[in-house]
Amino acid sequence: MPPTDLHSTIDAVWRIESAKLIAGLTRLVRDVGLAEEFAQDALVAALEQWPATGVPDHPGAWLMATARRRAIDTLRRGPRVEAQHDELAAQLAARAERDVDAELDDDFGDDLLRLIFLTCHPVLPSEARVALTLRLLGGLSSTEIARAFLVPEPTIQQRIVRAKRTLAEHQAPFEVPRGPELAPRLASVLEVLYLVFNEGYSATAGDDWMRPSLCDEALRLARILSALTPLEPEVHALTALLELQASRTPARTDATGTPILLLDQDRSRWDRVLITRGLAALARAEELGGTRAPYALQAAIAACHARAPTAAATDWPRIAALYTTLAELTPSPVIELNRAVAIGMAHGPAAALPLVDALASNPTLANYPWLPSVRGDLLRKLGRPTEARAEFERAATLNQNARERELLLRRAAECTP
């Protein structure tokens, strides 16, 4: 196999096996930082040995066996062998004869679920949870994460190092929370996946409107989580939301990467497989009694769009009603702005403009580019092009994404008296 093909194969194996490997090692060594080090050692060994020996039939088992040997050697030969490390090394050695592949399969679900809850632990700040989750569960390098979020690579590395140190200092348990502790911890996990997907779906800054790799990682992890927690309605609801949103990706930009707004998209290009999966996940959430919850309501809104064959056929009154319920459940000026858009589509721009104007004094939206953008769209529809142009231009100045800024300036230029 040519070296470039082999490296691509090893990279693919790592993306598939790394989360499973780190999860299994964390259970064994009781420290996520050490677990990642041993997993990385195994990856280096694969890069050194597989070019000569070929990719093994069971690469995950090979990586686990190699990582375990490194763990035993490190824990026993370190300059300061503590009693706890010596005990761990002895336990690892005693289990070395077991079928590693079977062992990983036996504990895969539980270990991976524990790792998800660990990387999304509320003791970590949000940006650290995101970075650590993408690193340990997504298999992304610090370089890839930094590129995705447009921050310096050392910043990402520092976040990851601090996150692992914080988890160790707080002795965060490698476990799935139970009873009353589950809901807030699960909410933290879902928030991380939601944030990762949203940054991929509509990048806050940079030259690209979307970063599909982030959407793919969030959706992959959501699917894993829904399989591991089959009775949690909000997990299925979030998965439904991400499936339905991701279905629009092929139609959201043209061949040059220029954004195409929802109402202008060619819906024949929407991914019907993802829509089917999303609607099934939403149905499952509803079967479990999760209709009145934030992700379920957002998924139901996305489903209204997915079920409409054309933009004109969209059930805007239902979307407005869903936003009203969502605003009652989780009050937010952004939700109110989206509700105003839906009311404008359902009942006309004159009905929506006062709602948008009422949000203008909200400090949370002072630098939110979509407030003047929405207002500009309503003013344009009401035949007030000069005012609309000013709003689109203001929205462009507030926007840090180059593609969105170009779109807003183009819309401003189209507003001629």
- The pLDDT of residue 300 is 98
Average pLDDT over residues 192-220: 85
Same domain, 211 and 128: yes
CATH of the domain at 407: 1.25.40
Same domain, 238 and 222: no
Inter-residue contact 19 to 136 (CB < 8 Å): yes
- The pLDDT of residue 104 is 45
Same domain, 91 and 4: yes
In a domain, 324, yes or no: no
- Higher local confidence (pLDDT), 137 or 359: 359
Q: Which of 332, 335, 351 is nearest to 343 (CA)?
A: 351
- The pLDDT of residue 105 is 46
In a domain, 358, yes or no: yes
- The pLDDT of residue 226 is 94
Residues sharing a CB contact under 8 Å with residue 44, sequence separation 6 or more, in sequence order: none
In a domain, 12, yes or no: yes
Q: Say what angle helices 142-149 and 212-228 make with each other, to 10 degrees.
A: 110
- The pLDDT of residue 81 is 46
Q: Residue 147 is encoded by which pair of tokens?
A: 């590129």
Average pLDDT over residues 266-275: 97
- Residue 244, domain extent: 232-314
In a domain, 115, yes or no: no
Q: Say what angle helices 100-119 and 212-228 make with each other, to 10 degrees.
A: 110
- The pLDDT of residue 375 is 97
Average pLDDT over residues 161-181: 89
Q: Which of 38-42, 188-192, 194-198, 298-302 has the highest mean pLDDT?
A: 298-302
Domain count, the chain: 4
- The pLDDT of residue 106 is 43
Same domain, 22 and 69: yes
Same domain, 244 and 272: yes
Residue-wise pLDDT for 138-151, tens only, equals: 888 888 888 777 78
Same domain, 221 and 242: no
Residues sharing a CB contact under 8 Å with residue 36, sequence separation 6 or more, in sequence order: 22, 25, 135, 136, 164
Same domain, 19 and 30: yes
- The pLDDT of residue 93 is 54
Q: Is the pLDDT of residue 350 over 80?
A: yes
Same domain, 291 and 256: yes
Average pLDDT taken over every residue of the chain: 88
Q: Which of 224, 267, 45, 240 is nearest to 133 (CA)?
A: 224
* For the chain, the helix, strand and coil percentages under 3-state DSSP, each to the nearest 5: 75, 0, 25
In a domain, 241, yes or no: yes
Average pLDDT over residues 112-133: 91
Neighbours of 208 (CB within 10 A): 15
The last residue of a domain, from among 106, 133, 148: 106
Q: Is the pTM of this model over 0.75?
A: yes
Neighbours of 268 (CB within 10 A): 9
Q: Which of 248, 275, 247 is nearest to 261 (CA)?
A: 248
- The pLDDT of residue 417 is 74
CA distance 246 to 257: 16
Inter-residue contact 192 to 222 (CB < 8 Å): no
Average pLDDT over residues 6-10: 82
- The pLDDT of residue 326 is 96
